[in-house]
Each structure stands twice: as C-alpha cells, then as structure tokens.
Structure 1
C-alpha cells in the first residue's frame, strides 16, 4: 500500500481540494483493505484504494456538511479522469507534479514547502521529516499543520501554475525531490519507508528535465541523481553491509546512468548560470572519475565543497566538506573543520555527523574517541546495512585500541 499511496493521495487532493481529507480518506481505505483483502485481494490495489478512499471522502464531507454539493449517491461512480489515472499500472507524472507544485506555493514559508510535499505527496512520517530537516518532531508537526491551514484558507488551486509563475516555485520543487532522494539514498539496502523514492525521483527529475530543458539547476538535479544511482549496485557487499563510496568497486557502477548524467551536467554548465546543484553534481562526477583514473580526486572534491558552502552554508555541507578535507589533507584537517560544528545543537542528533567524526578519529589513530563516536551514531537508529558497517568499523577501532596498549604479565 505504501507504494501506491502517493498516487492515490495526489489524485484525491486534486479531486477534493483538501490535503487533510485526502490523507484521512486514504488512511481509512487502507485500514479497510487490511480486512477486505484477507478474503479476496483485488487485482489492482491502487484502483481498489482509490474507490474506497473516494467513498470515505464523500461520506466525511456529507457528515460534516462542509460542501452540500458533495452530498450525492454513493453508488459505484462512473470512471473519471482521476480514476483512470489511478487504475494505470505505471505512475502518471502529471498528478504527482501538480501536487508538488501546489505544496510549493510561494505563500508558504520556504522551509515548509518541501516538508509539506514530502508529508502529503510522499507519505514520509513526521518523525522522519524532523530528522531530515534537523528539527524536533513537534516543530515539524506544527509547520505542516500551519501550511495545510494556509493552503486551505488561501484557496490555493490544485493545478500546475502557468509557466510564467514556475520560477518562484521551482527551487522548492527541486528541494523536495532532492530531500526525497537523500532520504532514500541513506538506506543502501532500500528496506525503509523512503525506498520507493529512488526510482520515483529518478523518473520525476527526468520529466522535469524534459519540461524545463533551459533550467540549469533542473538538469543538474537530474544529473546528480543519475550519478548517485549509478553507484547503487556497489553499495552493498555480499553480506548486506554498506560499502562506503571510497571502497566501492567502480566496475559495478552503471555506465548508462553515468553517461546520461554527464550529458545533463554538460548541458547545465553550458548555460553559464552556476547553482548549488551543479556543484553537487560536479562532486558526484568527480567521485565517478575514479572509474577511469583509479583514484578519487579528493583535493578537487574539497575545493568543490568550498565553493558549495558559499552557496549552502548548512551543516550537511559542512560535514561533507570536513570529510573531503580529511581525505585530501589528512584526518587532523578534517577534524578541525568538523570541530567548528561541535556547538551546533542540531548535529548532536544527526547520525552522519557522528559517523563522519568517528571515521576521521579512527583515521587519526584516536581509537577510543572513535569508538565513542561510533556508539553515538549507532544510537541514532541507522538502517540495517549502515548499522552493520558502523559496527564493523567500531570493532576494527576496538581491535586497534587493544593492540596499541601495552600489557604486563
């Protein structure tokens, strides 16, 4: 049911013009499905959920008497454009993109648009969203609730705006796709709730690149997603343990996605309008150059992060910059860069910060401190493949610590 949720919710929202009603109706339909499908599973899960959710949405409106025109016979409705869309086996991009653009309305605060879209369109839990945006769960819930109320009060139309109005929403749309993909990417084994976003963001970024071929940041996002997905086959070892980028076998990387991404990035660069996503894509491309040269250009990657941090001075970029500097110029340099974040409250509950610190400390030979950092990362609920990797590295640090201590008989 999780796989079809975004499509059904998007179509419900488009039909009823109410985000809360769409989510509630889908939840009710999903609960009904748990009972009904035990006896006779439907041939088309999405179509069944759509019909059930429509009936529940209509019933909810009737009981609340919100809109009198919703009071009509609940007999099986004739096929509508929305129903035909939901019944399709393959996701149709129009409905999904329409709702993404709606949730990216300029009336909403910039830091709320992506979160609302990920909640409504993608179905991410509030807890997961809070982790993604480095805020508390109550804060995230408050943001989403306020945004829904503002959309309803303002009567925001559920349609893609005219092309002339796209620029004011485009960055929020791209941020939504970027965060969605990042949530999926951190799970190397694709076993958690964000797993479907990998294929979906790959598809939607391609759709946007076709719709907006003159937007360099659109092309850059499509490029960096393809570069990252190209490495997917090398991200797990045969035991299901996450393999970090620097240890991956380039022979396993997908050349078709690498070539497609390179073409998109080249087109983006030709437009002469540099943006943060172009630098991110260039960083991914630099990593992939190891397939040809045999060594990652860490000094070049560090310089790219220096350029990126001028555009995005957030903690995510700062942590990645510290790691790259540690690889390029030594662990001490990386630790110095990371130390600048020590007093930042948000990183204390952000797993990548502790994992990066543990790796740099281990690289510097500070094994006892590295073990403590590994333990801090493990307490923050990593996906299974990453957990195994962190446990493996912590065990190596423990052996190094024991081996470095003198014993006296």
Structure 2
C-alpha cells in the first residue's frame, strides 16, 4: 500500500512539487536532486511507518529540507539563504505552500521556463522536464529525436539558465507574446502524454484535467489570442471523447468505432465556443485547423452518422501548407486512405523517414493497417510485430493484438 501511495503521489503531484522547488530555489538540478532524494526516503520509510495523509506535502517538505542541506554542502548560502528567517514575498512563493500547489501556479512557472533566451525547442523540452515531470524518453519521442540528443539538449538548456543567470520571475504581460507559442507547445505535448492511454490509467493521466483548467485560464487571460483559444478547444474536443475510448473488453476503440452518444456534450459545446472565437480572429492558423479537425469528428451524433473523411482530408491539406511535419502527414494519410485508397496513403507513409519514426507507435500502426488493406498481409504482420515490440498501453496493446490476429494466413 505504501509503494502504491508513493507512486500515486509522484504521478498526481510530483511534477507540481518539482515545479514548486524549482521556483523556490531557482536551481534546476537542485530541484531534481532534492525531489529524487525525497522519493528515495519515502520508499524507505513509508513501508515501516505508513504513508502520510498528505503524501504530496510530505514529499515537498522533505525535498525542501534536502535542498537546504545540499545548499549548505555546496556552500552556496551567499546566493540563497532559506534559513535566514522569512524570505520576502515573491511572485512564485505561493508555490512553496502545499495547500497552494495548484495548476495556475504551474502555469506561472511554465511561463518562467519558456524564456526567450533559450531556443524554442530547448524551452519546451526544459519545461516539460522540469515543470511537467516528463521523462527524457517521453520528450524525445514527442520531438522525434534520439534520447541522447534530447538529454544533451536539456543539459545545455539548464547550463544556459545557470550561466546566463536567467531570472526565475513571472514575466510582465507585454513579455507573454514572445513566450506564448512555447507555453502552448508545452501544454500540447503534456496533454498528448495524458491522452495517450485510452484507459486513462497511465502515469500522466492526471495531466488531462489540469490542462483543461490551464487552457481555460490562458483563454481567459488572452481572449484575443487565436492559438490560446484554439488549444482550449482542441483539448476539450479530445477529452470529450474519453468516455467512449474503450470497448466492452477494455480495448482501445478507434475514433470511427466510438459511440458518439457517450461523448461529453458539455465539453464539446465549450470547445465549439472557443473554436468560434478563434476563427473570428482572422485566417486560421495551425492550431485552429487542428481544432477544426476534432470539431468535424465531434459533429457526429450517433455511430450511424457518416465519418467526415473528406472534410478532414481538406483540413489536413490546408494544415500541411502551414505545418509540414511527419505528424501532420501521417494523420493526413489516414484520411487519404478513406477518400482515395489505402495504396495512395501507403505511398505517402512510405515516403516518410522511417528511421526517424521507428520508435513512434502511431507510424507503425498506420502503416500496418494500410499494408493489410492493400493486401500485403505478410508485410502487415511484420509491421504489427514491430509495433508490439514498442511500449504501449494495455488498452492499445489489446486492440493491436486483435488487429494482428485478424490477418489472414
């Protein structure tokens, strides 16, 4: 039970505790090391003494004390003096109170870490690691780069923060536009990690509810920013479908097989309102187009309603002119298979960089399905085998195994 309590605390509150430590001590490595030590101490003591009622608060308090000890050992008290009485109130101080470790405060630190002195990729990677608590492997997959490359990128970003003495301060509103795209990209990747497990049982599942709230806060703060409104719409469309993402056997249910009567219409209505406001602000940008694709699907009311493949393909064609990347091309290929042919879609997929996408499960899933539908059963079976060799959630694996077993021969 104690181990389960620790895993639950790390899963649901670990990233926020790490964010609070980072804001308090303004030292990225110190925050990570102190939190890791607190988790080790919990693993040793909780089985003997029982886990505390407020596990997140315990982890924060212990990590806080560890950080102070580490600072003393480094003889760095001239920069941070945590035991010299009550520090002056600062913008991020509420994050050090376990009762106020709330999503809005994490949003503050996301803005802090997305400093324009760092490259866009470094900002997003560093924020995902330090504020959202994603593993380096998860971040590398989101950027389609090797893990070693991403690890080096994060280390360089940390070093630049330290060497350039980048301040850990809440930027003024006039500085937000320079950071907004990185903030939104961080939320996109964090939400994708929460949405990846159809059963909602993954380590990052708790992000979904938080990012619903964070995108609402952003949309309220920036009501004239198309991208903020579009992202708020997109995550609501995606989250609205969660109740229908599993079939009766617990396997992932593809979008075309989901029962729209199970979708959360309240969330869809909220998404529609955000999307309308985004579309009114001018020519649609990439995030608005992505939200519009979700909207096309969420317009279905029953499972008998036709799938909006042609609309989806047209939207992807427009999106491709604005954002040409492997994710867009892969999703467009799915729609192309339905509107034109699986063979045409397979040509598009095979033109992608297979080596770059080798560790990206959706690539193998799409390709395996297209191979099967094109009559290339042996190749499809090999593609499913490659996919099943990658880490997948239980619900997704059950669905994939079912697909592979359905292949003739």
Q: TM-score, normalised by structure 1?
A: 0.92
Alignment length (residue pairs): 397
Structure 1 gaps of 5+ residues are: 403-409
- CA-atom RMSD in angstroms: 2.1
* Cα distance, 1:279 vs structure 2: 0.3
Change (3 A) 1:302 1:99: same
**Following the alignment from structure 1 to structure 2, what is the Cα–Cα distance between the partners of residues 125 and 323?**
29
Greater Cα offset, 312-321 or 79-88: 79-88
The one-character-per-residue Cα deviations of 1:237-261 (angstroms, maximum 9, x if unpaired) are: 1221001111111111110111000
Residue 337 of structure 2 is aligned to residue 337 of structure 1: no
Q: What's 1:364 paired with?
A: 374
Structure 2 gaps of 5+ residues are: 1-8
**Following the alignment from structure 1 to structure 2, what is the Cα–Cα distance between the partners of residues 45 and 80?**
26
SS at match of 1:290: coil
**Following the alignment from structure 2 to structure 1, what is the Cα–Cα distance between the partners of residues 22 and 186?**
18
Q: What's 1:280 paired with?
A: 290
Q: Say which of 239, 264, 268 aligns to 2:274.
A: 264
**Following the alignment from structure 1 to structure 2, what is the Cα–Cα distance between the partners of residues 166 and 190?**
32
SS at match of 2:250: coil
* Cα distance, 1:84 vs structure 2: 6.0
**Following the alignment from structure 1 to structure 2, what is the Cα–Cα distance between the partners of residues 74 and 161?**
27
**Following the alignment from structure 1 to structure 2, what is the Cα–Cα distance between the partners of residues 330 and 295?**
17
**Following the alignment from structure 2 to structure 1, what is the Cα–Cα distance between the partners of residues 228 and 380?**
39
**Following the alignment from structure 1 to structure 2, what is the Cα–Cα distance between the partners of residues 324 and 207?**
33
Q: Say which of 168, 176, 180 aligns to 2:186.
A: 176
Q: Say which of 20, 28, 45 aligns to 1:11.
A: 20
**Following the alignment from structure 1 to structure 2, what is the Cα–Cα distance between the partners of residues 381 and 157?**
38
Change (3 A) 1:264 1:91: farther
CA contact under 8 A between 1:47 and 1:83: conserved in structure 2? no
* Cα distance, 1:309 vs structure 2: 1.2
**Following the alignment from structure 1 to structure 2, what is the Cα–Cα distance between the partners of residues 72 and 157?**
18
Residue 406 of structure 2 is aligned to residue 396 of structure 1: yes
Greater Cα offset, 92-101 or 49-58: 92-101
Greater Cα offset, 357-366 or 263-272: 357-366
**Following the alignment from structure 1 to structure 2, what is the Cα–Cα distance between the partners of residues 90 and 359?**
47
CA contact under 8 A between 2:113 and 2:168: conserved in structure 1? no
1:14-33 superposed matches below 5 A: 14-33=23-42
**Following the alignment from structure 2 to structure 1, what is the Cα–Cα distance between the partners of residues 379 and 340?**
21
Q: What's 1:306 paired with?
A: 317
SS at match of 1:291: coil
1:6-405 superposed matches below 5 A: 6-38=15-47, 39-68=49-78, 70=80, 85=95, 87=97, 91-291=101-301, 294-341=305-352, 343-397=353-407, 401-402=408-409
* Cα distance, 1:152 vs structure 2: 1.4
The one-character-per-residue Cα deviations of 1:254-302 (angstroms, maximum 9, x if unpaired) are: 1011100000000111111421100000000011122268111101101
SS at match of 1:345: coil
Change (3 A) 1:370 1:344: closer
